[in-house]
Amino acid sequence: MNYYLKVLQNYATFSGRARRSEYWYFFLFNFIFAFVLGFVGGLTKMPIISTIYSLAILIPAIAVGVRRMHDVGKSGWFLLIPIYNLILACTDGINGDNEYGADPKSNI
């Protein structure tokens, strides 16, 4: 949950790097919240609830994806390549600093 909140605190920060755990925990909690809100919205006949959540979380989701691509040494534009971006999101980041910033694992 801390990683989810960390991504929200860096709402539109596209620079820097994001660890695998930050990216995937955000993805997990985002999926859970969207599913619950979609379910509740379906029960209450108000699907606008999940739509508002999805729109509100769109920019942080893109930002953490871009930072994840930076961690593996790639440009954020690699998010647009369907299968390759999944492979990169699962790949361990570059040890040490790279052109996009300091190693996020060294900040532990």
Over residues 81-108, mean pLDDT = 90
pLDDT of amino acid 25: 96
Domains of the chain, residue spans: 2-99
Q: Is the pTM of this model over 0.75?
A: yes
pLDDT exceeding 90 applies to what percent of the chain? 84
| Cα angle: 62, vertex 34, 22; to 5 degrees | 45
pLDDT of amino acid 18: 94
Long-range own/partner contacts, residues 26-29 (CB < 8 A, 24 or more apart): 26/60, 26/61, 26/64, 29/1, 29/3, 29/4
How does DSSP classify residue 93? Answer: P
Integer Cα distance of 13 and 10 in angstroms: 5
Integer Cα distance of 12 and 67 in angstroms: 11
**What is the residue-wise DSSP string for 29-44?**
HHHHHHHHHHHHHHHT
Q: Which residues pair with 101 in a beta bridge?
A: 98
Integer Cα distance of 62 and 40 in angstroms: 25
Residue with tokens 């040890």: 95
pLDDT of amino acid 52: 95
Over residues 87-101, mean pLDDT = 93
